[in-house]
Structure formats: C-alpha cells, structure tokens
A and B are shown apart, each in its own frame.
Chain A
Amino acid sequence: MRKILSFSFLVIMAFGAFMLVSCQKPATDVLKIALDIEDEGRYDELFQYFTTETGISVQATYGEDISKLIGTVNEPDIIKTSTVVIESMQDSLYDLTDMIASDPDVDPLLYIDSLIEALTIDGRIYALPTSINTSLLYYNKDLFDENADSLRIALGLGPDDSVYPEAGWTYADYQTAGVVLSKYTVLPDQSRVYSQFGAETQLNWWGEWLVYLNQMGGTFYEPGTDNHVLAITSPEAVQATQFFREKSMGDTTEKFAPDAVEAASSFSFMSGNVAMIFGGHMGDWYSYDALGMNWDIQILPTPVGIPDARGGEISADAFGISIRSQNKTDAFKFLKMWAGETGALKMYEYGKVGALKNMEQLILALPEADRKAINIQAVFQAADLALTLPREKDFSKVMREMVMAEIYKLMFNGRGAETDCLTVLTRIKTNVDQYYANLYD
C-alpha cells in the first residue's frame, strides 16, 4: 500500500511540476512570434541578425493558429495580421502611432500609401506591412514557348514579337491566348476531354471574381451604405460574373479554363497543365520555384472597351505588437527592422516583396544573380493600379459563406448547377443584405 501511495504522490508531484513549468512567466529578453507553417526556417537568418545586433532572441513558432494563442501564456509579442483582418484584431494590437512618431528611423510615408492607410484605424497605426500581395497575371513560359507559332497567328504577332503576355493585354488577348493554350481531344460524341487549359479559375477563392467585378466598373458594396448593402446586381457585376463563368463553361465563348469538375481533377497552374492564373497569390512564388517551374508575371489584362479600368486587389501581411506584450520596446525594434529595408531584402530571398515604396529600386540594386528572373516591375505597376480590399469585419465571412457558395453553382454542369448569373447574384444580394440588416439593426 505504501508503494501505491508513494507512486500516486510522485504522479501528482510530476503533474504539478508540469503545470508549474507550463505556467511559468516567459523570459523577458526573448521575443515570441507565431508564423505560418510554410515560413518555417525562412527567417532564421533574420532572427539571428537581430539577435546579433540587439542581444534579443527571437523565438518563433510555426503553424500555430494565432487566434488560439491570444490571451494564453504563449501569446506572441509580435502578432501577424493583415490589411484585411486588422479591424477584427484591433483590440489585441498595441497602438504603434506614438512609437513610430518618436522614432526617426520609421516613417509611414516610406510604405505604399494604400497599405499604410489600410493599417490605420481612426488615425492610429496598429501594424507595419512586411510583404504585399497584389493581383497579377502569372504564366508558364514553357507552355507559351511550346505554342509560340499558334499564339503568334492568333494574336497577330510578328516573328520577332514576344508571345508572352504584355502590359497592354486586354481580356480579348487573354481569352485568345487561353484558347490557343487549351488542349483537348474530341470524343465520338463530340465532347472534349481536356489535357491542358489556358487559364485557371480559382473557384474556392473569391479574389478572382472580385477583380473581374472591379475591373468591369462594378463595386461590391453600394457606395454610401457603410459597406452594408451589396451592389452586385449592377450590369457591370452581371457582365463580370458572366465572363468569370463563361471562360470555364464556354457557353457563348470558347472555353479556356477548367470548370468545377475539371478543377477537382488536378488542373492547376502549379500542376503544370494550366498556362495562366489570373490574380494568383504572391505567396505561391516560393512553391513555383521549389517545383522548378519556368514562370513569369505581368499586370492584369483590362476589359475590352474599359482601358482605364482599375487593377486587381492589393493586401499586405503586416505585424503588430500584442497589447499584452511585456516587451513592447524590443518588439518594436524587431518590427521596424523586419518592415524596413533589411527585413524586406531578406524576405525577398524567400519570394516575398516588401511594402516599401522604394522596393523596386532595392531589388534592382541587387546583383543580378540575387534577383529573381521575373518581370518584377509588373508587381509595382499592378500595386499602383490595385484597390485595397474592404476590411469590414464580416467581409470575409460574407464572401466565404454567402457569395462564393452561390457563385460556385454557376461553375459546373449537372444537378445543383445554375446558369443565370443575375438570378444567382440577386439571391446573394438578398441574403447578404438581410444578414447585415439583422447584424446591425
């Protein structure tokens, strides 16, 4: 019995010790930061540099959901946010305005205006942008080269002209190239089995549709409604949705993108069987390189007849300081290094582009061997044309649960499919307007 008692006592003591260790106060000379799983190892050199310069260690965790760390003993000092979610996270972020104002090394004017504006709420800055994402046209150079002759004929190019997408491309050029780059065999019943597509359609993400909507002159929210009433039944929105649909379904135009069923069968830019992505994510650069793809970028094409149409979207990963951090001063030192030139250049090595206005010059000043062999100017041209996304708290929920859920039904044939864009858009508007009315009444 005594043995059992001793054993139980030991177990309880071990449990208690474990709890105490778990709850112990963290060392104050260590900065904690939570990063995405794909960032693992990418910034080790940057952390090391910071430690060497300041004597402060940076302890990074990867792949842990920041929303589950907030308010716990493991809450990071430096919190990842973005221009889209900052309003939702505002309460947990320390107001950086005074720190920025009193530090001669940090100037908000150094950052792309629209991004620093998006990170400013009621005149107060809550985070500094570290890398941008803007809508671009991505293309697989190998697939373009393989079809160079056909592309020249279809696009009316001379023998010495480049077949790659140009800055002046319109939707018509994009569509023509897309059709040429789509490969299929015709079955006896005249149906087509595609082995390659000209462009990818991103059905699980609202970004591409929203860009079409903006480029064709539409808006998502009705102006002057405090972002609570949708404007998606406008003729421009219907036209945009039709274009989005028809490139995959080929109702009135030649099909050049996979529909929902084909997209489920591994047709993607990253798989190498799709030649272009309209509005792909800059976060994927690292993966494209890792896969050994021969890729490049161009600014988005503009709709026919709307040459002054606005570009795509722009957003930024940004980092702020936890309001509960015991290390705010050190955290700010790290933040300004990361969001500054040192950090931006280090992140560029890993395929990210900083949010500094002079980023283009910084990149062009690098030795050629250190520069990516892509049309980097396109990023900054696109950024100039782009719109920031609404940071309205419910925007992402509305898009995910109400907008894309319905638009998806336009993107395949078979039971459950829809064909009339206006009907679908009207239903979305009714549901979303009702949602906002219930939420704010």
Chain B
Amino acid sequence: MTGEKARLRKKNFHTDYKYFLMFAGISILGFLLFYLYPIVRTVMLSLTDKTIYSLDTSYVGMDNFVYALTKDPLFFKSISLSLIFASVSGLFVLVTSLILALLLNSKVRGIGIFRTIYFLPFIIPSFAVGAVYKNVFNPTTGLINRILELLGFQNQPLWYVSPQTALVTMIIISSFGFGVKMLVFLSALQGIPENYYEVARIEGASKYQMFRKITLPLITPMLFFNVILITIDGLKAFNLAFVMGNGQGFPSNSTLLFPIYMFMTAFNMPFRLGYAAAMAWLFFVLILALTGINFFVSRYYVEKDVS
C-alpha cells in the first residue's frame, strides 16, 4: 500500500513537472538567454578592460570599480543628476498621477474619454514626445516662452539651451509621464467599497477627512508599488534624456543622466565596454539600495490589512 502511494506520488510529481516545464519552458529559456546570460556576461566584462573592438582583454580585477568611485568625476555627476531627476520628477509624477486618478474615479459623463486622453501621452514614444517638447520649450520660438512673454514676464528661461535649466526642463516634461501610475492608482481607488464613504458621510466626515482616513490608507499598497516603479523608471530614464541632450548630455553635461553616460562610455570612442559594465553594476547596487530603503520605509506607511 505504501509502495503504491509512493508510486502514485512519484507519478504525480513527474506529471506536474512535465506540465511545469511545458508551460514555463519558453519563459525559462527566455530568462536564461536574455536575462541570466547578459547578467553573467556583464559581471565578467566588468572585471576586464574589454573594448568593443579589442580581441585580447585583460583581467583587471576591481580596477574599473575603483576608477569609477575614485577618479571619474562624470560618474558621480551622472549619478547625482539621475538621483535628482528620479526624485524630483518622481514626486511630480506620483502627485499628478494620484490627483488625476482621483479625478478620473469620479462619476461624470464621458469619463472614459477623459481616461483615454490622460493615458494618451503614455502610448506616444518618448523620442517623439522629446522632439515635440523641444519645440514647445524653444527659448525664442517656443509656445511656453511666448505665453510667458504675453503674460509680461521678462527674461524668460532658456530651458534646455542653458545648463542651469536643462535638467529642470526635462523634469517638467517627464512629469507628464504618469500614464501607468495613474492606472495603478485608479484600479486601487475602484477597489475601495463605496459603503466606506457612505458611512463616513453619515458620520459627517469632510472630503479631506475621507481621503485622509479611507482613501489614502487603502491605496498604500499601490502607492508603494508606484513609488518603486517611479524610482526605478526615473533612475533608468534614457529616451527623453537622449533626445533632449542630443545623446551627449547637452548642454554642458547638464542632462548627462547615468544611463546616457554609460551608453556613451560603451558605444562612443574609446568604446570601453568593461568600464561601462562596472558602472552598470555600481548603478545596480544603488538602485537595489534605494529599493531596499523603499521597502524599509514602507513598513511605516503601507497599510497591511487592506482587505
């Protein structure tokens, strides 16, 4: 009897395993090929002086990491620009996406049209968005400065032309990238039972009190999810910075976000792949640390018992 049980269990295991492999096989293959292999390869590259065109590469140990951390001022500049960009634009995106989600959660006629309109910028490629905004923010011919001029403002900003304001311009533009985050908030808002608000209204709660005591606590898991998403998105921002900064951190390295600097290091002369790989790993550690901090801080604001 015991032997029969064991045989059945073994058979079940084999059947389960077969199905597991069948359904997950392609994903596992994809993961191995397109994620694990590049990860391992990048680790190996980061320990060498490999350039794109070199045949012989030498093992340099931690030299690339030491150089980045002690001798490359542009490494630190690009990291700090990325942190500023991610935190400031992230904050804007978080607030605007929450406000818009609250507005779009209201019961008004034609709400679907508004939802589509607000989501539209997200589906337009960021390269195109950047090109359009470059015209909008042109210091002499752009719409923004024309409006400021009509309003009587003197000495309008030079926006992306000046090193002092180029990053700010990019932050303003990227603040409109709230599409997915807005949807996440919207789905969270729609999951809140209406009777909570009815009870609060009967108790005489104001709209602010309802938001503070009901809405906000109940959407904190999604708020946390969005914070993680926004942090990583902001730190990895590439397309907009590439368009706005002509792929070179223009002007005067003021939009030299870390992904741009890494790209330039690897794919422009002198094509230092090994060093770029080391920088990528240092950046990974930074993102990991920030995500860890986010998780730690989330203990204090994420409502666990939402259900």
Contact with A along B4-30 (1 / 0, CB 8 A): 000000000000000000110110010
Distance in angstroms between the alpha carbons of A260 and B251 in the assembled complex: 10
Per the 8 Å Cβ criterion, residues 219-262 of A in contact with B are 260-262
Distance in angstroms between the alpha carbons of A406 and B165 in the assembled complex: 16
* Nearest neighbor of B21 in chain A, beta-carbon distance: A8
* Nearest neighbor of A392 in chain B, beta-carbon distance: B270
Per the 8 Å Cβ criterion, residues 69-84 of B in contact with A are 71-74
Binding site for A on B (CB under 8 A): 22-23, 25-26, 29, 51-56, 67, 71-74, 138-141, 155, 158, 160-165, 246, 248-254, 264, 267-271
Q: Which secondary structure characterizes the binding site on chain A? A: helix
- The answer to whether the Cβ of A281 comes within 8 Å of any Cβ in the partner chain is no
Distance in angstroms between the alpha carbons of A400 and B246 in the assembled complex: 12
User: What residues of A have a CB within 8 angstroms of the CB of B269 in the complex?
Assistant: 84-85, 88, 393-397
A262, A401, A415: the one contacting B140 at CB < 8 Å is A262
B56, B140, B162: the one contacting A417 at CB < 8 Å is B162
| 21 A–B contacts from the bound complex (CB under 8 Å) | A5-B22, A11-B26, A71-B52, A88-B271, A91-B51, A91-B53, A92-B54, A204-B250, A261-B139, A264-B139, A265-B138, A266-B141, A393-B270, A394-B270, A396-B270, A400-B264, A401-B74, A409-B163, A412-B162, A415-B165, A416-B163
**Also in contact, A265 and B25, with CB within 8 A (given A393-B269, A405-B253, A415-B164):** no
CB–CB A15/B270 < 8 A: no
Interface size on A, residues (CB 8 A): 44
A-B pairs under 8 A by CB, number: 112
* Nearest neighbor of B159 in chain A, beta-carbon distance: A264
User: What residues of A have a CB within 8 angstroms of the CB of B56 in the complex?
Assistant: 91
Minimum CB–CB distance from A206 to chain B (whole Å) comes to: 11
CB–CB B163/A68 < 8 A: no
- The answer to whether the Cβ of A57 comes within 8 Å of any Cβ in the partner chain is no
Contact with B along A258-277 (1 / 0, CB 8 A): 00111011100000000000
- The answer to whether the Cβ of A70 comes within 8 Å of any Cβ in the partner chain is yes
User: What residues of A have a CB within 8 angstroms of the CB of B138 in the complex?
Assistant: 264-265
CB–CB A12/B252 < 8 A: no
Per the 8 Å Cβ criterion, residues 267-299 of A in contact with B are none
User: What residues of A have a CB within 8 angstroms of the CB of B271 in the complex?
Assistant: 67, 88
Minimum CB–CB distance from B108 to chain A (whole Å) comes to: 42
CB–CB B140/A261 < 8 A: yes
**Also in contact, A401 and B267, with CB within 8 A (given A261-B140, A416-B163, A416-B164):** no
B72, B74, B158: the one contacting A412 at CB < 8 Å is B158
* Nearest neighbor of B33 in chain A, beta-carbon distance: A19
Per the 8 Å Cβ criterion, residues 376-424 of A in contact with B are 393-397, 400-401, 405-406, 408-409, 412, 414-417
Minimum CB–CB distance from A237 to chain B (whole Å) comes to: 19
User: What residues of A have a CB within 8 angstroms of the CB of B268 in the complex?
Assistant: 396-397, 400
CB–CB A416/B26 < 8 A: no
- Which 5 residue pairs are nearest across A and B when measured between Cβ atoms? A416-B164, A393-B270, A92-B53, A415-B164, A438-B71
